[in-house]
Amino acid sequence: MRKIELGKSGLMVPTVAIGCMRISNMAEKEAAAFLDTAIDNGANYFDHADIYGGGQSEVVFGKAMQAFRREDLLIQTKCGIVPGKMFDFSYEHIINSVNGSLKRLGTDYVDVLLLHRPDALMEPEEVAKAFDKLKSSGKVRHFGVSNQNPYQMQLLQSALDMPLVANQLQFGIMHTPMIQSGINVNMYNESATNRDGGVLDFCRLNKITIQPWSPMQYGFFEGVFVDNEKFPKLNETLARLSEKYGVSKTTLAIAWILRHPAKMQPVTGTTTPGRLAECLKAAEVTLTREDWYAIYMSAGNVLP
């Protein structure tokens, strides 16, 4: 598995991360097979959140990971969402959330902690206090955010002594506002709308790794686009290029993200070992510029 540096952390990570949101109902053998597939393919970076499966995803993973050496695994979790009620970046919530995740995971530390969705009431100094406590105690090694724009990150960074190393954002073939506005600069069309403050270029300039979530989905968890009859032109293009590159459509969908020079780290969402292996194979595929644009346009995008 090809590796990249995660932000400015000095931590070398697989170019594809393993999402664990949907593993909460896995049986012990299923969870073991899930981890085995990832590790066998060189993917040892696992993404969690305190709310996934109501915390059960971390419990299932914590049991399965006992078959491996902790130092061979890179574990990331997220906090800050109180489902259906609020976002909470208070000192107490961050500390309590991390302690809860550590207990469920059965480990003394996580490699990366991300703040999950922006909190409108965020006080940077309070977040910095929590981060300092977690880092000095050895419970968290690196920190980042999720779904934040450049000004939100700059505001938070102004109070921190450590760099933000990652920003987890929705991105994939069927969710491309991060690149559409850049392609359509100064145009009178919907695609020219800058919806995120130029977060893609900001992260590249500041060496913050973008972690695309739901890379196989369209809309907001509406379903997958591969082999979906709603997207005939896209799937026709993927089928043609699958033959050219000798890989599956799923592999191509991840490879399309990896082709971008921002050196993103897409987060998989599947729990099926076979499909997971297809996602991870994308690290071996490099699309041509022409094929990358062919996929982009077959998803319904128009070049100005």
What's the total number of domains in the chain? 1
Name the nearest CA neighbour of 174 among 235, 227, 228, 215: 215
Would you please indicate which residues are annotated as catalytic (active-site) residues? 52
Please report how the helices 249-258 and 273-280 are oriented relative to each other, as an axis angle in degrees rounded to 10: 40
Residue 65 lies in a domain: yes
Residue 303 lies in a domain: no
Average pLDDT per consecutive 10 residues, the chain (304 residues; last block may be shorter): 97 98 95 95 98 98 96 98 98 98 98 97 98 98 98 98 98 97 95 96 98 93 92 98 98 98 97 95 98 98 95
The span from the CA of 162 to the CA of 222, in Å, is 36
The CATH number given to whatever domain includes residue 267 is 3.20.20.100
E runs forming strands in the chain: 3-5, 12-14, 18-19, 45-47, 74-79, 81-82, 86-87, 110-116, 140-146, 164-170, 209-213
Identify the pLDDT of residue 221: 77
Residue 233 lies in a domain: yes
Residue 201 lies in a domain: yes
Residue 133 lies in a domain: yes
Residue 247 lies in a domain: yes
- Quote the pTM value: 0.97
Residue numbers of the domain that contains 35: 3-298
Residue 304 lies in a domain: no
